[in-house]
Amino acid sequence: MLINQKKCVGCGNCVAICPMGAIYVDPQKSRATINDDACVECGTCFRGMSTETLNPTFVRTVRKVAKFLRFRFEPEPDVCPTGSFEMNELEMPRLIRQIFSDPVVEHKSTGIKGRGTEEVKTNDVSLRVGTNEVGYTIEFGRPGVGVKFSEIQEMTRTLAQHNITFEGNNPITHLMTDVKTGDLRADILDERILSAIVEIKTKIDTVEEVLQVVSEVNERIDTVTAVGVSTRCNDSGNDETLAPLLEDLGYNFSRAKTNLGLGRVTNTIKLNKAKESAQ
Ligand code: SF4
Ligand code: SF4
């Protein structure tokens, strides 16, 4: 993202709109500037403000005269009066910031499978997590915090040592150079994004170990993480494996969502295997 320095009049309206606190007004120059390291290319400043196309020289003159006469000339708080924001063409590795942080821009050409994931929301038809298995979502970052890929790699590398399976359709897995070690592409490690989700699966007896690992790594990295766990209910619709385990481990949890299994199963390979083992 760029702020056209010839247009900006330093009104400061855009400072509060940036979720990463990346915009500041340089009092010496009376222009807004973007901290490139903090900016995650989310596009909020570009799209989130109304724009006017006032002449910058005119606005600066009026502001100076107003200041001299001890009153203020300020545009409406949600307006960039001179339309100073410009979205520049990005290339990898910086482009990865936009892919993961801007919900509007699509980048099919990169080969990266989106920024989001179905997680286990469709497990009733995808059968990604089977009986006696546990699916995990480990979410990194929040507005105002963000996350660097090097911090995500710290988690994926550590998890890879603990008998887990990375979800193949997840965008972070797609950026791995080696799913056995959890290594991510070296060129993106210094890039910062708004948030990301790592998805893994384990056998039920590994839950305690995995939650311990996530908690330990969370202490070492400079971001926030949130963990979701899920499993497949038995034929009566009850969870008699994961819930008691979490209770024993002292977690205070609630059942967030139950899929009823009314959809058409999309994972026919797993469905056929399940039918075979039931016979
Ligand atoms: S809102 Fe526009 S004119 Fe005002 S400081 Fe930001 S970029 Fe500059
Ligand atoms: S693109 Fe997003 S992170 Fe970057 S300056 Fe604009 S609002 Fe802030």
Q: Write the CATH number for 9.
A: 3.30.70.20
* 128 shares a domain with 82: no
Same domain? For 157 and 266 the reply is yes
> Which protein residue's CA is at the shortest distance from atom 4 of ligand 1?
11
Q: Which atom of ligand 2 is nearest to the CA of 20?
A: 3
Residue 75 included in any domain? yes
Same domain, 78 and 135: no
CB of 196 closer than 8 Å to CB of 141: yes
- Asked if residue 214 belongs to a domain, the reply is yes
Rounded to 5, what percent of the chain is helix, strand, coil?
30, 20, 50
Residue 223 identity: T
Neighbours of 179 (CB within 10 A): 13
CB-based pocket (< 6 A), ligand 2: 1, 18, 20, 22-23, 34, 39-45
Res 272: pLDDT: 73
pLDDT at 180: 97
- 186 domain-assigned: yes
The reply to whether 154 and 268 lie within a common domain is yes
Is 112 within a domain?
A: no
Residues 132 and 76 in one domain: no
Q: What pLDDT, on a 0 to 100 scale, did the predictor assign at position 117? A: 63
Predicted structure pTM score: 0.86
170/273 same-domain check: yes
Ligand 1, CB cutoff 6 Å, lining residues: 3, 8-14, 25, 32, 80-82, 84
Predicted confidence at residue 110, as pLDDT, reads 58
Q: Is position 37 within any domain?
A: yes
| 32 domain-assigned | yes
Say whether both 55 and 134 belong to one domain: no
The number of the ligand 1 atom at minimal distance from the alpha carbon of 11 is 4
Q: What is the CATH number of the domain that holds 154?
A: 3.30.70.930
Of 88, 113, 142, which residue sits at a domain end? Answer: 88
DSSP helix/strand/coil, 44: helix
Residue 101 lies in a domain: no
41 & 138 share domain: no
Q: Are residues 147 and 261 in the same domain?
A: yes
Instruction: Choose which residue among 25, 40, 85, 99 to substitute to test ligand 2 binding: the one with the highest number of ligand atoms within 8 A of its C-beta.
Output: 40
> Do 153 and 251 belong together in one domain?
yes
Pocket probe mutation, ligand 2, options 4, 44, 84, 98, max atoms within 8 Å of Cβ? 44
Q: How far, in Å, are 24, 89, 133, 179 from residue 28 at the CA level?
A: 12, 29, 59, 49
Domain boundary among 66, 88, 110: 88
Q: Are 133 and 250 contained in the same domain?
A: yes
Q: Show Cβ contacts of residue 241 under 8 Å, excluding neighbours closer than 6 positions.
A: 132, 204, 231
Residue range of the domain that includes 79? 2-88
Give the other-Cβ count within 10 Å of 255's Cβ.
10
Q: Is residue 135 part of a domain?
A: yes
Domain count, the chain: 2
List the residue whose alpha carbon is closest to atom 8 of ligand 2. Answer: 18
pLDDT along the chain (279 residues), means of 10: 95 94 93 96 94 87 79 75 93 94 73 59 77 92 92 98 92 94 98 94 95 96 93 84 92 75 70 67
